[in-house]
Structure 1
Amino acid sequence: MNEYILLMHDDVQDAAKASDNSLWGDYIRQLHASGQFDGGSSIGHGAAFKQGQAGALTPLTGYIRIRADSLEAARHFLAGNPTYEAGGTVEIRELPREE
């Protein structure tokens, strides 16, 4: 099984929905019930840097680690994610295994 990280971006269309603690609680319980949840956290304020400029990227608001058989299987974990459901971007990236 592969490991993935879901990165929530700060570009939601419905901020109230994206920050609803009840929705996040339901979503985290759903992840726990799957047996494929490996943790996560909100992310505080910071800055993105690129040579010669700063802040060009959409800030991240949090991350979730999951396990899934494939990227397609990992996409199923978007359902119920308050950032995704509020019209925001959730980026899914595979965490490569060290060999």
Structure 2
Amino acid sequence: MPHFILLMHDDGPGDGGLDWDPYLTRLREAGVYQGGSAIGDGECVRKSGDAPEPTAHISGFVRVTAKDLAEARQLLAGNPVFEAGGTVEIRELPWG
């Protein structure tokens, strides 16, 4: 089954106090949760030349399995960032 990464953007109201436990429990019970984490500060590097600044608006990710993009989109129900009106970017991972 394909794997998808749900990238949480920090553009929703009240992003700091979101309760992730119910959502992650639901994904675990459905057998689709593959991991996730908040994302801290970092940097972009290149072997030579200036590198761009890191993408600052991505605050975390959740990795899930789903049969296709439409099914991955359905897994957003209950996602705290999505439910608060924030943006969640869904990307398919080309490797499982």
Q: Same fold (TM over 0.5)?
A: yes
Aligned with 1:97: secondary structure?
coil
Q: Where in structure 1 are there 5+ consecutive unaligned residues?
A: none
TM-score (norm 1): 0.79
What whole-Å deviation, never above 9, does each CA across 1:51-73 have from its counterpart, x for those lacking one? 78646x55211000000000000
The alignment's C-alpha RMSD in Å is: 2.1
| 8 Å CA contact retained: 1:24, 1:81 | yes
Structure 2: tracts of 5 or more residues without a match? none
Conserved in 1, the CA contact under 8 Å of 2:44 and 2:51?
Answer: no
Which of 45, 62, 70 in structure 1 is aligned with 2:41? 45
What secondary structure sits across from 1:88 in the alignment?
coil
Partner of 2:78: 80
Q: Which structure has more helix as a fraction of its residues?
A: 1
Please give the TM-score of this superposition, normalised by the length of structure 2.
0.81
